[in-house]
Amino acid sequence: MFLSGKTAFVTGGSGAIGAAIVRCFVSEGAMVAFSYNGNGEKGLSLAAELNGGKSVPIVRAYPLDVLDGKAVLSLDERIEKELGPVDILVNNAGVTQVMPFALIEEEDWDMVMDVNVKGTFLVTKAFLRGMIRRKKGNVINLGSLAGMRILEVPVHYATAKSAIMGFTLSLAREVARYNIRVNAVIPGMLSGGVGLNVPDKQKEEYKKYCTLGRVGTPEEAADLVAFLASDRSSYINAQGIFLDGGI
C-alpha cells in the first residue's frame, strides 16, 4: 500500500478523474479529504460508499468553491483537525467550455482561467503553509495534453492548462528546499471527465494518431497520480508526465 499513513486532499473529487483518484488513494491506504462544487449528492455518496459504515471515517467530502480564498484557508484547518495534516495535495478541480475562439466572450475566458489557474493558486497557497512548516509534502497538478500539443481544443482551456505546467515548474524549484515535491500529470483523451464532451469524430482522430489506438481511463490517470504521491517516486520532481497513449 503506497500511501499508508498519509493524508491527502483532492479538489474536484466528485468528477470522473477526481473520484478515481479518491478511490485509488483509499485502496493504497491513505486518509482522503476531497472537495466538490455543484455535485453534492455524488460527492457525499462517494464518501459514504468508501467509508462503508466505519466508526472512524477515512474519507471526508467537503463543499468548496476553489475561488473563495477564505473558505479554502478554513478548509485546510478543518481537514487538519478532522483527518490530520495534509501530506498530499492534488489540484484536480477544473472546467472547460467547448466553443470556437470567435465565440469566446470575456466572461468565458475569465471563468475558465479563474477556476483552472487561480483556483489552483489559492488552494496550493493555503495547503502549502503546513507542508512548509513540517518540511515535507507532495503537490500534484492535473494538466492536459490540450496545453502541450497542437490540438483542436478550446483556446481558453488550452491556455489555462498550459499555465499549470509553468506553475508546476516554478513552484517545484521554490519549495524544494522544504522537501516538497511538485509534479504534473498531463492526460490525453480519457473516457471520463472533459473527454465526455469531445465529438466522436475527434475521438476517432485521436485514436488514429495514438500509438495504443485508444483513449485512456480515469483509473489509469489515478494510478499515475498515486505513484507520484508515494515515496516510490521520491526522485521525481518538477516533471510533467504525459499519460496519452503515445501521441
Q: Which residues are catalytic?
A: 157
Q: Name, in order, each residue with C-beta under 8 angstroms of 172's C-beta and a sequence gap of 6 or more.
A: 181, 182, 183, 237, 238
Tell me how far apart the alpha carbons of residues 71 and 73 are, in angstroms, rounded to a whole number: 5
The CA distances from residue 30 to 33, 63, 127, 168, 234, in Å, are 10, 20, 17, 23, 17
Cβ atoms of 79 and 9 closer than 8 Å: yes
Tell me how far apart the alpha carbons of residues 173 and 243 are, in angstroms, rounded to a whole number: 23
Tell me how far apart the alpha carbons of residues 95 and 36 are, in angstroms, rounded to a whole number: 13
Residue 18 DSSP label: H
